[in-house]
Chain A
Amino acid sequence: MSGAAREGIGQPVRRKEDFRFITGNGHYTDDISRPRQTYAYFLRSPHAHARIRSIDTSEAEKAPGVAGIFTGRHVADDGLGGLICGWTVTSKDGTPMKVGPHPILALDTVRYVGDHVAMVVAETLAEARAAAELIEVDYEALPAAVSLGSCQKPDAAQVHPEAPRNTCFEWELGNKAETEAAFAKAARVVKLDLTNNRLIPNAMEPRAAIGEYDKGSGIYTLHTTSQNPHVARLVLSAFVGVAPEHKLRVIAPDVGGGFGSKIFIYAEETACVWAAAKLGRPIKWTADRSEAFLSDAHGRDHLSHAELALDADGKFLGLRVKTIANLGAYLSTFSAAVPTYLYGTLLSGQYDIPAIYVEVDGVYTHTAPVDAYRGAGRPEATYLVERMVETAARETGIDPADIRRRNFIRSFPHQTPVIMNYDAGDYQASLDAALEAIDYKGFAARKSDAAKRGKLRGIGISSYIEACGIAPSAAVGSLGAGVGLWESAEVRVNPTGNVEVLTGSHSHGQGHETTFAQLVASRLGIPLSNVEIVHGDTDKVQFGMGTYGSRSGAVGMSAIVKALEKIEAKAKKIAAHLMEAAVEDITFENGAFTVQGTDKSLAWAEVSLAAYTAHGFPSGEIEPGLKEGAFYDPANFTFPAGAHVCEVEIDPDTGIVEIVKFVAVDDFGTIINPMIVEGQVHGGIAQGIGQALLEHGVYDPASGQLVTGSYMDYCMPRADDLPSFTLGFTKTVCPSNPLGMKGCGEAGAIAAPPAIINAVTDALGIRDIEMPATPARVWQALQSAAPRAAAE
């Protein structure tokens, strides 16, 4: 294979970014130090809900090393706005969602444990922390609304006076009347109450920020752990009012994982960059893990009731769902969109369901804000659909694989009753491949073998679909988004022929520096080492929307393709001029421009250099230089789909669930770098296993204290909790973008939980178990089931 072919599209190219990470030369925000920097420490609310009667900072101000102390009063006096939610959801009665203010630092009320009360800035972090202990806050503790099940009751404590019954919105989607009609003619109705457990994202790099202000130029600079630095800059300038957009530079350097939690604009980085100007010195803040638990936006946290109507042959007729979704104490940057447009729209799953009606109440509680976490709404939808389908299979006696086959969508495009128009897919191909890989036929024998060893064995399927590559700007705009969800790219060819690609996508583990470079190198016929991907700095990169929702391939790379097409067109013009040929006669292949039918040829580097020497360009026809930009707005969502199948073995004595085998077969459309894609699937599955078996963000229902506030109580997946995974791929090309890509970053986290819980409930012979299915819960379920089994 030639060098170019080894580095091309579809090849498992080793990552360009790895060298700096494996040698300790990465630059994460906390690794960066600025001259004369100070350190910030945030005094946080110990109460879930309290009125602040007064804050006395006088003693703290005298403490050694203190440079400044800032409270909500300072923020308000300076006229700073609050944090915003960039997506407006409208209730079924036509009223907009009810939004309480979200101040940078609390003014008179705190609304969750960890809410920001004051920022102390000192010469060292230890001094800032010591001074914070001297601040006297007089709190009037108030009752708190903590539990999702009771926060809408009339006597529940109120989080925001703007939102009676703590209800932010009552949203609906689908056709209610048609769904009622479907249920009326159903042969069977399957009902289930489901909990989608609260998760805490836990990117390994805690959030951090360094705010700076240059008095001479009036320019603010913010280094921060962001998945989307341009959006951060837009929010901080247009809404919070820290600085005009052109006077604010946001840099997201190496970022140690995000999983959604670093999309959002938080109080801490805002306060750091704002106060840096007040102090005239840089301010650095790095969360410790305990702060991360308290103050990062959490994920999931739904209570649902679902009903599925079937005909006598096991065909689905209709689905109706009522969900209560926790939003936490304040609306975070995208929180309203997650349990609505990223959730309700996926409730058709892979199935032809003629009628669907879903109602979602978004509710406030005195807990940390809840927003997008890997998958964002789609794991909740998939969990619900796949648990319902599994339950339907058990109640009808139809094999779980068979009931799925009977109901799969088989012709495309397919319009679901819940907005989405699926463009391509072959769901049975993925399911069949996954069942083959796990030896579905041999399961009964393995189960009876396990029984002989005193173990309970179960198998579970999850046929998932997600909507990625978000999304057509017009579509999301009509649904309430405050932004467009296109992406940008700029391709800069240097005189020596090497290339910088500036992208609005942001890589925080996804390997864009390699994958994007593979695309560019193979299109231009140059070595991978001659391509540099530049991202994460608003001073370098044109506006972009960032990385989340598995969008960087389908949207970010499509923008690069558009820019490359312009580059090629212009380079051909230059080549034509140089070789004195008609531009139509120039072909560009393997890095060479050739005049068709002749031996006249110019190398890429020659044309690049000529673009800058610009000698003798016909004036007005060819501008000097070789640099092109593009903005790509997708025509549709993309629809990655597949089948994950999990086999578990349970030790009935301890309740420990062991995942014996996990098979994932995914259809992501075109794959640029299979090694990286597989890595994305592995990581997603691990987080899905975490949700299903290990992880749970728990607040004490009475006090509102976060019970799982460290790794001592929040169970992170460790290496010995997980098996090695078996992966496979099927392929239907996505018709809506030039590369045919669908996105792969979230699939595992979306697909895995129902596969596992279907397997666990199969092994235990029970209808449902709440996630996470911890050993204690499994054991408890067996105790409850045992007398019943004995009675049967």
Chain B
Amino acid sequence: MYQFNYERPKTLADAEALLAKSDDPKILAGGQTLIPTLKQRLAMPSDLIDIGGIKDLDFIRAEGDAVMIGAATRHAKVAQSAEVKKHNPALAALAAGIGDPAVRHMGTLGGSIANNDPAADYPAACLALDAKIHTTKRLIEADEFFKGMFETALQDGEIIKEVTFPHPEKAAYMKFRNPASRYAMVGVFVSKGPWGIRVAVTGAGQNGVFRVKEMEEALAKNWSPDAVANIKLPAKGLNADLHGSAEYRAHLVTVMAKRAVAAAG
């Protein structure tokens, strides 16, 4: 790792102030992606602003027809939350399948979506569940938030505070893990709710998470695995590497979508 300054503010206001006065800061949440990146010397921030000490960012609250989750809430906590399990079991299951148990004890919701790794799980949930991302500056719709590989709508100095997940009627996430890294090679989140029907795919696309309109339309007509069984994504634009061709990934999107619809019931 290169040298950096480390700050651990206690309040969001302090964090914002620190961000404003730093040359090239990075926000440290759980660190499960950022610290490996720093170790590989792939990033050289001047300051690390650790938001892990801000108590206000660590909460899960069910209110009305949505669950609100603080940005610094750990995956393990989401996975175990009675509120999340009750209202949004697909989200709890997704959180329970991120990384491994030790990673889930550190990694956070805010960190995952702010980083927008193309193989991360939470972006698929946000997109499929029509989530609202509240930041220190504004509210961003999930549809507007994810801008491509490792890119989001977040501006400099903007910190995610919480994410609102409206309750779905039906939802499920199915993931095909990369055999080596165990990240999502293809993850498909399907949902039915006030927003209609959504199908979000992570892991497969070269530009990160995306929705599959054709599947959404087919499921709107007929909510059943058969409805998506014959919908094949074009391989163009999908990742290809030693773990599988773009064609294989396209095929897996169909298989995982089918299985997700079946699991959602």
CB distance from B204 to the nearest CB of A (A): 13
Q: Which of A436-444, A708-716, A724-732, A743-751 contacts B (4 or more CB under 8 A)?
A: A708-716
Q: Which of B174-199 contact A (CB under 8 A)?
A: 176, 179-182
Contacting residues, chain B, for A715 (C-beta < 8 A): 179-180
Across the interface, name the chain A residue whose C-beta is closest to B180: A715
A698–B242 alpha-carbon span in the complex (Å): 9
Contacting residues, chain A, for B242 (C-beta < 8 A): 696, 698, 707-708, 713
A130–B1 alpha-carbon span in the complex (Å): 9
Known: A776-B244, A776-B248. A716 touches B180 (CB 8 A): yes
A694–B251 alpha-carbon span in the complex (Å): 21
Let me know if A126 and B1 touch, CB within 8 A: yes
Contacting residues, chain A, for B222 (C-beta < 8 A): none
In the assembled complex, A662 has its CB within 8 A of some CB on chain B: no
CB distance from A141 to the nearest CB of B (A): 23
Contacting residues, chain A, for B248 (C-beta < 8 A): 655, 776, 779-780
Contacting residues, chain A, for B255 (C-beta < 8 A): 653-654
Best-surrounded residue of B180, B181, B251 (most CB of chain A within 10 A): B180
In the assembled complex, B245 has its CB within 8 A of some CB on chain A: yes
Please tell me which one of the listed residues A653, A711, A780 contacts residue B245 in the complex, with CB atoms under 8 A apart. A780
Across the interface, name the chain B residue whose C-beta is closest to A696: B242
Across the interface, name the chain B residue whose C-beta is closest to A775: B179
Let me know if A694 and B252 touch, CB within 8 A: no
Contacting residues, chain B, for A776 (C-beta < 8 A): 243-245, 248
Contacting residues, chain B, for A780 (C-beta < 8 A): 245, 248
Overall SS of chain A's interface:
loop
Please tell me which one of the listed residues A654, A655, A713, A779 contacts residue B180 in the complex, with CB atoms under 8 A apart. A713
A130–B3 alpha-carbon span in the complex (Å): 10
Let me know if A654 and B252 touch, CB within 8 A: yes
Write out, one digit per residue, whether chain B residues 155-180 have a CB within 8 A of any chain A CB (1) or not (0): 00000000000000000000010011
Across the interface, name the chain B residue whose C-beta is closest to A126: B1
Q: Which of A664-720 contact B (CB under 8 A)?
A: 694, 696, 698, 707-708, 711-716, 718
A775–B185 alpha-carbon span in the complex (Å): 12
CB distance from A665 to the nearest CB of B (A): 29
CB distance from B11 to the nearest CB of A (A): 32
Across the interface, name the chain A residue whose C-beta is closest to B244: A776
CB distance from B257 to the nearest CB of A (A): 12
A718–B241 alpha-carbon span in the complex (Å): 21
Q: Which of B1-46 contact A (CB under 8 A)?
A: 1-2
A698–B244 alpha-carbon span in the complex (Å): 14
A714–B242 alpha-carbon span in the complex (Å): 10
Q: Which of A197-229 contact B (CB under 8 A)?
A: none
Across the interface, name the chain B residue whose C-beta is closest to A693: B179
Contacting residues, chain A, for B2 (C-beta < 8 A): 130
Contacting residues, chain B, for A707 (C-beta < 8 A): 242
Across the interface, name the chain B residue whose C-beta is closest to A707: B242
Contacting residues, chain B, for A654 (C-beta < 8 A): 176, 252, 255
Across the interface, name the chain A residue whose C-beta is closest to B259: A653
Write out, one digit per residue, whether chain B residues 229-242 have a CB within 8 A of any chain A CB (1) or not (0): 00000000000011
Contacting residues, chain B, for A711 (C-beta < 8 A): 180-181
In the assembled complex, A488 has its CB within 8 A of some CB on chain B: no
CB distance from A202 to the nearest CB of B (A): 12
Please tell me which one of the listed residues B176, B179, B245 contacts residue A694 in the complex, with CB atoms under 8 A apart. B179
Write out, one digit per residue, whether chain A residues 99-126 have a CB within 8 A of any chain B CB (1) or not (0): 0000000000000000000000000001
Contacting residues, chain A, for B179 (C-beta < 8 A): 694, 715, 721, 774-775
Best-surrounded residue of A130, A698, A779 (most CB of chain B within 10 A): A779
CB distance from A223 to the nearest CB of B (A): 25
A126–B38 alpha-carbon span in the complex (Å): 13
Best-surrounded residue of A655, A707, A713, A776 (most CB of chain B within 10 A): A776
A403–B182 alpha-carbon span in the complex (Å): 41
A721–B178 alpha-carbon span in the complex (Å): 12
Contacting residues, chain B, for A698 (C-beta < 8 A): 242
Q: Which of A749-792 contact B (CB under 8 A)?
A: 774-776, 779-780
Contacting residues, chain A, for B180 (C-beta < 8 A): 694, 708, 711-716
CB distance from A446 to the nearest CB of B (A): 24
Let me know if B251 and A779 touch, CB within 8 A: yes
Let me know if A713 and B181 touch, CB within 8 A: yes
Contacting residues, chain B, for A708 (C-beta < 8 A): 180, 242
A70–B241 alpha-carbon span in the complex (Å): 38
CB distance from A9 to the nearest CB of B (A): 41
A130–B179 alpha-carbon span in the complex (Å): 34
Across the interface, name the chain A residue whose C-beta is closest to B240: A776
CB distance from B101 to the nearest CB of A (A): 12
CB distance from A545 to the nearest CB of B (A): 36
Across the interface, name the chain B residue whose C-beta is closest to A708: B242
A126–B1 alpha-carbon span in the complex (Å): 7
Write out, one digit per residue, whether chain B residues 249-262 have a CB within 8 A of any chain A CB (1) or not (0): 00110010000000
CB distance from A126 to the nearest CB of B (A): 7
Q: Which of A149-166 contact B (CB under 8 A)?
A: none
Q: Which of A58-96 contact B (CB under 8 A)?
A: none
Contacting residues, chain B, for A655 (C-beta < 8 A): 248
Selected A-B contacts with CB under 8 Å, 8 pairs:
A698-B242, A708-B180, A713-B241, A774-B243, A775-B176, A775-B179, A776-B248, A779-B251
Q: Which 9 A-B pairs have the closest CB atoms?
A: A776-B244, A715-B180, A712-B181, A715-B179, A653-B255, A776-B248, A713-B180, A698-B242, A779-B248
Known: A654-B252, A774-B244. 13 other contacts (CB 8 A): A654-B176, A696-B242, A707-B242, A708-B242, A713-B180, A713-B181, A713-B241, A714-B180, A715-B180, A716-B180, A718-B182, A721-B179, A775-B244
